[in-house]
Structure 1
């Protein structure tokens, strides 16, 4: 029996049509990418080396930054390679892997932001029990769960993309569970936090807002 294999090659038409603007776009992408990597590594080193920052919120932030580095590295180096080499093609397997990593990146962003919202929720509503609840073991468990769920979902989606016609249905479910639901939980957490803040004194309100503002800024940026 004769066996034959089919090699699928993808062409990125968008970059092919850019013409001479490729060089300018390459410089912009390269500068932003390198600056973001340097800034991310600097923040991670600061959190790692400064024992005063070995707290739940900063550990969650560390995980979020690592995820951001992985996500951006899955996309921008390929874009820069296309821009500088004029090679507008890519393998199907490479496209699937890139899709997998970006899918996990997006999922991890929202799950870790939800974990950070839970951390602030506990800090505001149970301040005396905060460190009894957010133990190092609990923090590591939350980091593991927050990163493992999107990875499992990404593997399942890639498998279904290769094997079944139900990948679109799964994609809708994954989008809801890893995108819409986390955003809803984050908003719900902050609505409850705001309801408590409104009953506080001006000084307590200021301190409480200061503890929540870093997470809010990250959530808005993401």
Structure 2
């Protein structure tokens, strides 16, 4: 719909009984947002202030947590405003931007998880070559690629889809996504849908294949090593594997419920569409804060010091 200054606005019509449960929705969403910010920031602070944690593995952990904050900031502020508003609208440019940033968050997540798998593979399978293969320059390159690769792949599709006019102005979602915008567009969208599927496959599959290869090699090495070595490898690899499986399953569910028509109830679709900015941003700092010994020890030491300071 065209309103003042010829700006197109879209209605986000995916909310369920918002007028009845507005306060409950807002309270839960606000609490989640605060927990995400606090948990990720605490672990980031611990990594930042301790020089012994300024190593590639922990730098990648910090980047993963920062990406979780980035993804949350893309969703939660707008969602909180909508929960308190009489109408849930968003301008078309802002909707396209939110969609791009959400996809960028997911793309960065897989790239960073792949970089972490490389770090663990070299550390366990080629320990003598670790400092030559995982140099600071290589770490910086991985971090740059984690942003640049998804940006380039997604940017092409976003630019092309921006030329499609809109024939529908109501999205049955509470956040924007490019696939829904393309479905609401006018004209033939087969090319952009094909490109979107191509980007989705090649943004996920190469990373999953590489991670599977890396952990297969790590598993073989562990079988040939001592019990203490296996325990140490497990302590550093388990959080990464759990987070990878968690994020992959959530993204898979989101893709299935978005792209494949089915009789899934709307409330289930709504919950699934938010899982990737609810579970990973909360789950990741807990896994790394409590399962990685070097971080958890510093967290335990830091908390009493803060309490004493305040007392």
Deviation at 1:86, TM superposition (A): 2.2
* Contact 1:15/1:22, CA 8 A, preserved across alignment: no
Query: In the alignment, which residue of structure 1 is the partner of 2:20?
Result: 20
1:198 aligns with 2:223: yes
* Distance in 1 (alpha carbons) for counterparts of 2:152 and 2:235: 35
Deviation at 1:188, TM superposition (A): 2.3
* Distance in 2 (alpha carbons) for counterparts of 1:140 and 1:81: 36
* Contact 1:112/1:147, CA 8 A, preserved across alignment: no
Aligned pairs (5 A) from 1:22-61: 22-61=22-61
Query: In the alignment, which residue of structure 2 is the partner of 1:177?
Result: 202
Query: In the alignment, which residue of structure 2 is the partner of 1:88?
Result: 88
Give CA deviations for 1:166-218 in whole Å, capped at 9, x if unaligned.
32122111111212321222122212211221121222211221221232233
Give TM-score, length-normalised by structure 1: 0.92
Deviation at 1:6, TM superposition (A): 4.9
* Contact 1:82/1:88, CA 8 A, preserved across alignment: yes
* Distance in 2 (alpha carbons) for counterparts of 1:97 and 1:16: 24
Q: Which consecutive segments of 4 or more residues in structure 1 shift more than 4 A?
A: none
| 211-220 vs 69-78, greater mean Cα deviation | 211-220
Give CA deviations for 1:106-138 in whole Å, capped at 9, x if unaligned.
000001100100111111111011112111111
Q: Size of the alignment, in residue pairs?
A: 218
* Contact 1:15/1:82, CA 8 A, preserved across alignment: no
Aligned pairs (5 A) from 1:101-140: 101-140=101-140
Query: In the alignment, which residue of structure 2 is the partner of 1:167?
Result: 192
Tell me the secondary structure at the aligned position of residue 77 of structure 2: helix
* Contact 1:104/1:154, CA 8 A, preserved across alignment: yes
* Distance in 2 (alpha carbons) for counterparts of 1:66 and 1:86: 32
CA RMSD of aligned residues (A): 1.7
**Which 5+ residue runs of structure 1 have no aligned equivalent?**
none
Deviation at 1:92, TM superposition (A): 0.9
- Which structure has more relative contact order (CA 8 Å, sep 6+)? It is 2
Deviation at 1:162, TM superposition (A): 1.2
Deviation at 1:24, TM superposition (A): 0.2
Give TM-score, length-normalised by structure 2: 0.66
* Distance in 1 (alpha carbons) for counterparts of 2:145 and 2:83: 37
Tell me the secondary structure at the aligned position of residue 163 of structure 1: coil
* Distance in 2 (alpha carbons) for counterparts of 1:126 and 1:30: 45
Point out the structure with the larger helix share.
1
1:9 aligns with 2:34: no
Query: In the alignment, which residue of structure 2 is the partner of 1:188?
Result: 213
